[in-house]
Amino acid sequence: MSIKLYKVLSKNDTGETHSHQSGISIPKAVASSGIFPELTTETLNPRTDITFYDEDNVAWTFQYIYYNDIYFGKSNDKGHNEFRLTCVREYIKKYDIKSGNEIWFSIDDNGIRHIGYVSEKQEAQLLKDDRRVITLSPGWRCIEW
């Protein structure tokens, strides 16, 4: 079975708000999908480079970070317990992806990660054939086939 994880991008995700917060928030259900590497609570804010190949086979290296300072003495109201994919703005800019558009992530049988975005024409095709859509969290869905 193959899966693709789709994310409807917010203005914060695309940088349209000019916020200091960078990157795409990755919910725990997405973080544990097998597409993203495991990051644990053993070290403070672990991070790793993660490379995805786009539909033109161009490699894009992003930072995948687990902000986890609640496990290192920060109170729940001031601490963090979230995953983020950062350094994505160049990818978003190259393809002129805007808030409301979707990007997708997948991993193939060889462990190669892939990234793409959904055009309006592609959206209609997504739900055809023998595909199952699972909503993971607001803005995220998984399509299996």
Which tokens sit at 31? 């973080």
Biggest alpha carbon–alpha carbon distance for the chain: 50
pLDDT in tens, 64-86: 999 999 999 899 888 999 999 99
pLDDT in tens, 99-144: 888 999 999 999 999 999 986 555 545 555 555 566 666 777 777 6
SS3 (DSSP) at 41: coil
